[in-house]
A = this chain, B = another copy of it.
């Protein structure tokens, strides 16, 4: 879907497009995001966008991934409660900032674009879910947590309140709040 071989691809244009996309979507939301707007803000011809990406959704997904690439590994100090607390703090801080706006925009776009929805799941959700589930399975094996609950279900319980607030906007996302909710979830899951 990115036909030419990127031998002489302009790195500066590439970066400028990702940056411009991020800013545009923060300002105008997914509905207001347009290839023309991206190109104009990046100081780039439209063709340069169309040459390398099949759709504005693909650009936005790459822009998000570019900012979260390094945060996929999961810590293991032997204390599952501390590890989860640390991880959820990081995610909460990310989603409470512009990252939340962009991620929410992406989810909104995915609602009428099944292909984008699938890409988000594969590239963003599943790797992190799997990493967290693996860590949880170790905690179960170590006797820290009940072993009769599917780790994937635990991931859901732990992160769901975060997305609840992100999407419904009932209350702002705050790291301390999310840690409290985590404590209550863990209270029912200890061995």
List the interface of chain A (C-beta within 8 A of B).
28-32, 104-105, 107-113, 117, 121, 125-126, 129, 149, 153, 156-157, 159-161, 163-165, 167-170, 180-181, 184-189
Question: Whole-angstrom distance between the alpha carbons of A126 and B168 in the complex?
Answer: 10
Question: Which residue from B112, B167, B189 sits with its C-beta under 8 Å from A188?
Answer: B189
**Total copies of this chain within the assembly:** 2
User: Which residues does chain B contribute within 8 Å of A107, judged by CB atoms?
Assistant: 108, 111, 167-168
User: Closest 5 CB pairs between A and B?
Assistant: A188-B188, A29-B112, A187-B188, A160-B160, A108-B108
Question: Whole-angstrom distance between the alpha carbons of A186 and B29 in the complex?
Answer: 37
User: Which residues does chain B contribute within 8 Å of A28, judged by CB atoms?
Assistant: 112
- Most B CB within 10 A of own CB, among A156, A159, A170: A156
- Given A31-B31, A160-B163, CB of A184 within 8 Å of CB of B111: no
User: Which residues does chain B contribute within 8 Å of A108, judged by CB atoms?
Assistant: 30, 107-109, 111-112
Please state if B156 and A121 are interface contacts (CB–CB under 8 Å).
no
Question: Which residue from B30, B164, B184 sits with its C-beta under 8 Å from A159?
Answer: B164
Question: Whole-angstrom distance between the alpha carbons of A117 and B117 in the complex?
Answer: 22
- Given A112-B31, A117-B169, A121-B170, CB of A156 within 8 Å of CB of B164: yes
Question: Whole-angstrom distance between the alpha carbons of A156 and B173 in the complex?
Answer: 12
Known: A30-B108, A117-B169. 8 other contacts (CB 8 A): A30-B111, A32-B112, A104-B111, A149-B184, A157-B161, A157-B185, A187-B189, A188-B188
Question: Whole-angstrom distance between the alpha carbons of A184 and B153 in the complex?
Answer: 10
- Given A112-B28, A112-B30, CB of A184 within 8 Å of CB of B157: yes
Please state if A167 and B167 are interface contacts (CB–CB under 8 Å).
yes
30 contacts between A and B (CB under 8 A): A29-B112, A31-B109, A31-B111, A31-B112, A32-B112, A104-B111, A107-B167, A108-B112, A110-B169, A121-B168, A121-B169, A125-B170, A129-B170, A153-B181, A156-B161, A156-B165, A156-B170, A157-B181, A157-B185, A159-B164, A163-B163, A163-B164, A163-B167, A163-B168, A164-B164, A167-B167, A184-B188, A185-B185, A185-B188, A187-B188
